Amino acid sequence: MKMNHISIHEVGPRDGLQVEQAVVPLEEKIRWVDRMMTSGIDIIQLGSFVNPKYVPQMAATDELFRHYATPENKPSQVVFSGLVLNERGLERGMACGVEMFCMGVSASETHSQKNTRMSPAEALSRIIPMAKSAVDSGKRVQVSVQSAFGCGFDGVIPRDKVLGIVKEYLAAGIKNISLADTAGHANPMQVEELFAAIGELDPDVQLACHFHNTYGLGLANCYAAMKTGVSFIETATGGLGGCPFTKLPAGNVSTEDLVHSLQRMGLRKDINLDSLLDVARDVSKFFGRELPGSVLKSGSIVDFKQG
């Protein structure tokens, strides 16, 4: 089995923080992001362009992007992404220097209404024109299907419903597609089957995944996704995170745990795991509690001297 090069998309500053009650000051976020950049990870999601009344943690998203819009604050090899839910969010992101737009549609009727106050069909009718507009403006775009593997409210999500949304993306010429396990219901066999089905729809599709570790299967699901050609994996520092509009919010796969796992397999040894662990320790100290990440507790057994 030959795996694609795996790119790490750190979503801690957005997904990792959005459910936290203690709002992180802008200066602290900048310190964390600066150290994430030195680790050698590929993409960092700085925030989402949402109403701060509903997600107070994201109130400084525009300012954070503006800080990193200057060359002296950002090395060229790192890409900064931002999540948008509607046209206003896209306008804000365009104005403050977002390099990569992430946007998506939930396959769950209930989750879609709670998250965006739109049905999946309505959200799709708006997301596709937004994605095409961003592409036309020279931006990178990743579209997603949220709750692709199940929903705490609606239960099992039919496979055909997920693939139906994917087909709409592909028909619009959008080929950077992520499946998000918003509720953490995925299992490895399901992951392999669903990503393989997308690959059969279009062999040129660029696949990404986003798993929550609600039931302890996060890393196993990442590996299953890698086996089917997924090349972008979204994770969060320390295993923070969770969607505030799911029935049971739970953390993401820990960035350090994924990187440690990859390095045990001889992959992505260019990433400085110690830098990532340092950030996770700072985040843990800020919130005053132990984070879910395993390697943060146990320490690394990767021996860089051996290759």
Q: What residues act catalytically?
A: 243
By the 8 A CB rule, do 3 and 227 touch? yes
Exposed e or buried b per residue across 188-221, where buried means at least 16 C-beta atoms within 10 angstroms of its C-beta: bebbbebbeebeeeeeebbbbbbbbbbeebbbbb
Q: Which residue has the tokens 């500053």?
A: 13
Q: Exposed, middle or buried: residue 32 (CB in 10 Å: 0-12, 13-18, 19+)?
A: buried
By the 8 A CB rule, do 255 and 222 touch? no
**C-alpha closest to that of 100 among 16, 235, 231, 10:** 10
Q: How far apart are alpha carbons 221 and 185 in whole angstroms?
A: 10
In Å, the largest CA–CA distance within the chain is: 53
